[in-house]
Chains A and B, each alone.
Chain A
Amino acid sequence: MHRILFRWLVGAVPVVFGVTVLTFVLTSLVPGDPGRTILGANASPAQVKVLDAQLGLDHPLPVRYWDWLTAALHGNLGDSITSGVPVSDQLTSRLGTTLSLIGGAILVAAVAGVALGVLSALKGGWLGRAVDGIALVGLAVPNFWFGLVLMTAFAVRLPLFPVSGYVPFTDSPVQWFESLVLPVLTLGVPATAPVAKQTRDGVLTQLDREYVRVLRARGVPERSVIFRHVLRNAAAPIVTVLGVVVVTLFGGTVLAETLFVMPGLGGLAVTAAQTQDIPTVQGVALVFTVTVMLINLLIEVVYAMLNPKVRT
């Protein structure tokens, strides 16, 4: 376990570092002047200069990065240029929405993907081809378009679910669930395809193994052969695929949260980008990267738990 943690740190620290440097360098290229943006066109050049100094903009780039980084490590990501609210407050208040959405979508992708994959491996034939076809089409359908179709069908035509918005779990678990159904499906259904494909390939590979033959020869029922043994051995690469899927889901929240008007991090990033609210964009990029890294760690741990050769 220590080894996994160490290896993870060795990989994750440079990534987080790299992303922060990248976003910082990029945002330093902003044409115009943040002080001017905040104070508006009527402010005098002297006022702008004072504010720029307050914001630390008169220092060279590496110094500014260092200041930002040390502040960030203390949880201070600056204030939003548009609303003046501390970025960290915005992020913490919205993290729950995004994690609910991603958690739901990955659950859908995992459960439906594994079920479809096992089914198509065992039944083969048209079901296998159907999984291939769905995977191909699934890659081609933009998730915002798919979300709109879901919205039209199940919120407008058949008003089963709310058209938009998000209700926190603590307010009402039932409404929380209802407000999540369509966005979760929007992201989760297309993510099913790669999981199903990996599951099918894995199960088919395992079914050819000698131990499967031997288990059957010992009279172990087929149900147990598949679900206890084969699936268990096929699980590790499926977990890896789920890890890749999670990264794509984080990108997907940007579109899904905008579409369903959910107060999450993805939606925040879009509005911040539209209004050139640089500290907020930086904050979201940081939180996304760190969260993805933590999920990678989780996947490493699960992988090790599933694979005795890694663990022992």
Chain B
Amino acid sequence: MNTPTAQHTAPAGGRKGPRRSTAPHGFTARLLRKKAAAASAGYLLLVVLVTLLASPLAPYDPDEQDLTAALQGPSGAHWLGTGELGRDVLSRLMHGGQITLLGVLITLAVYLPLGVPAGMIAGYKGGWFDRLVLKSADLISAVPVIIVLLVVLSVFTNNESAAMAANGLLGAPLLARVVRSATLGVKEELYVRAAVAGGIRDRVIIRRHVLPRVTGVVLVQASVFGAYAVLLETGLGFLGLGTTKASWGSMIAEASKNIGTDPWLLVPSGFMIISFILALGLLSDGLRDTLAERYAPPADKPPSRRMGRPRGAAPEPLRTEVPDTARVIEDPDPDALLSVRGLTVSLTIEGTPTAVIRDVSFDLRSGEVLGIVGETGCGKTITATSLLGMLPAGGRIASGTILFEGTDLARADAATMRRIRGRRIGWISQDPISSLDPSFTAGAQVAEVVRLHTGCSRKQARERTLELFAKVRLPDPGRVAGSYPHQLSGGMAQRVGIAAALAGDPALVIADEPTTALDVTVQAEILDLLRELQAAGTAVVLITHDWGVLADLCDRAVVMYAGEVVEEAEVTDLVTTPTHPYTAGLLGSDPHHALPGQPLPAVEGAVPPPTQWPVGCHFQNRCPRVTDACKEKPVVISRLVELERSTRCIRPLELIGGPAHD
């Protein structure tokens, strides 16, 4: 048994939001609105009252013996039965509560007056006193408190008050530590800093500004520590180290002698202790929650509970889904390595399944590099993860096909997807360092994937790992293999990531902005690696928002806007003659084309979230060429056959021939 402190202390200080009313009645009212906490408070009050009024209320004298009626179960005369000397259990329970409550009171009477001021001073003043508080808290949390209390009790025999006071003394530094951190938060607040600057005395500031703000934290700690004091007091009573009078703990000791003949005796005293502590625990949870609400901005309403649909019911229509009549879906290209047609993915947003990408189609041939370009929030990453069947929780492919090497991945089961992941399709992450498991060396992580996909021996896997490291041009592969992720630079970590992606010798590699997190010089080297991959016959899907990278590396590119493919073309055509106003706008805002002294042109506005997609063209609100016709109905992507490109604009040709961007 060691002194506990509440695990989740309430937000230390109010940095989280504006300070609301600190009127105590507001706090109490909010607390009482929590049913469990209110019921607990009521129960505790009832127990305290009954205990205090034990003498007039109890049906018998707690020490009145009746050996003829010993160890009898509950009856009309003795509601909770009798103990080993025929004493009435109910009466002893009522009187025994006084001992426990007194013990709790003594503990708290030492705990609070020592811990609260010490914590506030330590937090407010800092310095040697602060260090002393922290050190003593460390010391006490390393010692089994009950042993110290046994020492106290061996000195002050059967003096339970001394033990409970000592308990409060030992707990005080732990309380001080919690109060200290709450005080540190308050101290940084503007109004406190203003008070300090205004020359108000420290003592006044602490009393007027700091104390009200730490009160909630103190209440939580006090109820947790009170619960602990109950456990301790009854424990001492059980051991026979406390008083000789009736107490909850000694009643359990009495029960322990009679478990063979009258196990019922365990029930009333056990129930009292457990219910009392449970009530204190629920109360402190309620206090903690109320406190958190008070200093945090009100949270959004939680999403409706009705997630998912009842079994057997038809799927709910997706929000923002387009009817099939409004689109033209071609058959997949059988010659392509990857052929995506009409792919629509839904995620659960605010409790409603919502299409986040829709009607996405593109093809990729072996050895080709396909770029996916667009602003953040346009659905590039969702498109890529859906290829691997790795949508976030609540996500699913609502319609469409993903034909890869003859298999429709949109309908593949988990086992099929596992065989494809890593072995046929490799993945390169956007954030190289955090894409590696921090607990394993780079070599071990790659070797694990090698073994997984080739089934070779550990030794072979190690050799293959070093080969892969050499292939991705890691200097000193042996040293890198023995390094942990935190010892690698971003560029090295990304090479390790690429090596791992290549471990299964995949036909397709998906790279999600592989160079975003890297320095410019390293970026070029990583891009060189991807180019080598392509030269070796591996197809690549490259997600990027960098036109330079796109033009440098890709054969074809798909431009995505607000969940849709708005244009798809060969990269040279796309860059020189965009047919969609969004493509033109994106190209115009590319910093590579910026003119010195001129502001960088940008597409005005922001990408609408999936819940706010307009009915017609998704780009209508930001398009410089918008007409009424753009707003009427969803725009279908149309194939410009002679140009070998597609565009989702009702007046695409307008742009061709004209200057794309000045």
Contact = CB atoms under 8 A, between A and B. Distances in A.
Interface string B256-299: 10011001001001100111011001100100000000000000
Contacts of A18: 139
Contact of B266 (A30, A145, A216, A228): A145
B151 A281 contact: yes
A247 B144 contact: yes
A35 to B, nearest CB: 17
A140 B142 contact: no
A210 to B, nearest CB: 4
B461 to A, nearest CB: 14
B147 A285 contact: yes
A222 to B, nearest CB: 9
Interface string A107-149: 0000000000000000000000000000011011110110011
Given A216-B390, A218-B421, A270-B241, A210 B155 contact: no
A140 B4 CA distance: 13
Contacts of A186: none
Contacts of A19: 143, 148
Question: Size band of the B side of the interface?
Answer: 35 or more
A211 interface: yes
Question: Size band of the A side of the interface?
Answer: 35 or more
Contact of A233 (B135, B437, B452): B437
B138 to A, nearest CB: 7
Contacts of B285: 136
Contacts of B427: 214, 217-218
Interface stretch (A43-51, A55-63, A170-178, A252-260): A252-260
Interface in A248-288: 248, 250-252, 254-255, 258-259, 269-270, 272-274, 276-278, 281-282, 284-285, 288
Nearest to A137: B278
Contact of A140 (B252, B259, B281, B421): B281
For chain B, what secondary structure do more than half of its interface residues adopt (helix, strand, loop), or is it mixed? helix
Interface in B498-522: 500-501, 503-504
B438 interface: yes
For chain A, what secondary structure do more than half of its interface residues adopt (helix, strand, loop), or is it mixed? helix
B434 interface: yes
A136 B278 CA distance: 7
Contacts of A218: 421-422, 426-427, 449, 452, 500-501, 503-504
Contacts of B155: 26-27, 29-31, 276, 278
Most interface-central of B153, B240, B420 (chain A CB within 10 A):
B153
B152 interface: yes
26 contacts: A11-B138, A15-B143, A19-B148, A22-B148, A23-B151, A26-B151, A30-B155, A136-B278, A139-B227, A142-B234, A144-B235, A145-B266, A148-B266, A149-B270, A157-B263, A213-B435, A217-B388, A218-B501, A220-B452, A221-B452, A229-B439, A232-B439, A272-B154, A276-B154, A284-B150, A288-B147
4 closest residue pairs by CB, A with B? A219-B422, A251-B1, A217-B427, A219-B421
Interface of A: 11, 14-15, 18-19, 22-23, 26-27, 29-31, 136-137, 139-142, 144-145, 148-149, 151-152, 156-157, 209-211, 213-221, 224, 228-229, 232-233, 244, 247-248, 250-252, 254-255, 258-259, 269-270, 272-274, 276-278, 281-282, 284-285, 288-289, 292-293, 296, 306-309, 312
